Amino acid sequence: MRAARTGLHGLFAVYKPSGTSCKLVRHTVETKLLNELNSLERPAPRQRICFLPGTVEGKDGKELTVSVTQLPMLADHPLVSGPAFTHLKMGVGQRLDIKSSGVLVFGVGHGNKLLDKVRDAHLSRTYTVRGLFGKATDDFSDTGKLIEKTTFDHITGEKLERILAVIQGSNHKALLQCANIDLKTQEAYELAVRGLLRPMEKSPPLITAIRCLQFAPPEFHLEIHCLHETQQYLRKIVHEIGLELKSTAVCTQVRRVRDGAFTLDDALLQTQWTLHDVRNAILQCRPKVETELRNSMAFQEICAGSSQEREAGLSQATGDP
């Protein structure tokens, strides 16, 4: 029975539907895994040696004898011991709010330590966000309380692209400041060209890339790559895009399509939340996670080298030993 848990150590991703909380998804996955583990065949109960008294007919009548036998230990009976598995150590990665859907990463068993390392790596995430021009609500979503209605006939695809370019440019400047790395080094330059620069500490939400996938007024569809974001922050971005275009906009959908190394192809659907599929997902995703963590360690070393060079230069400039 214990061997059944050996494959349940690592990271895997599921697809969280909208309208469902992360807590409920975690509970559902854990319950299904526990039910399957407890349905596996149990080992035979341990045997204990017993000395049973008895009587036999002797010359002087009945004589007392003792016979040796083996009996199963009642403590190992399922009705006495209960389920073999009652809890799984499961952690949740970057959460999704109840209105959002998409890739949700879990760590199980020893994978919880990996989950901490992934958080410390500050990996980027990708969302597809749908918006609707002409409305404004109190929570920036299409289900909020309607505050205002506006026209949107003057909005064109070119105007939207210009606003997106401004958003990406301003966030890129903030990213360079938060990354705290000397761009004059060859390693840092190569990272910047590949779009791998990122802050290694907690920072305000940052958008590393944003583009329009579809523009069909009043609807539009965006792809956003970001760091340290919340789903509400992305809804607010949609609202601000509407204001910049002299109109209003609400967010109709926030869907995470990538969380670090995990994509939609790695996310298990609800019908796949089984022991077999979770084990396979952990094995398949392990190389991708290890690669991301190695890249993160290399980036941290470059950041540390840049910091030491700056400190050395500052010491020389001030004349400190």
The residues carrying an active-site annotation are 97
d(CA 80, CA 74): 7
The amino acid at residue 289 is V
d(CA 218, CA 221): 10
Tokens standing for residue 208: 């590393």
The tokens 């969380």 sit on which residue? 259
Alpha helices in the chain (DSSP H): 22-39, 78-81, 111-121, 157-179, 186-193, 231-244, 275-318
Taking the alpha carbons at both ends of the chain, their separation in whole angstroms is 63
**Quick one: angle between helices 22-39 and 275-318, nearest 10?**
130
- Three-class secondary structure of residue 197 per DSSP: coil
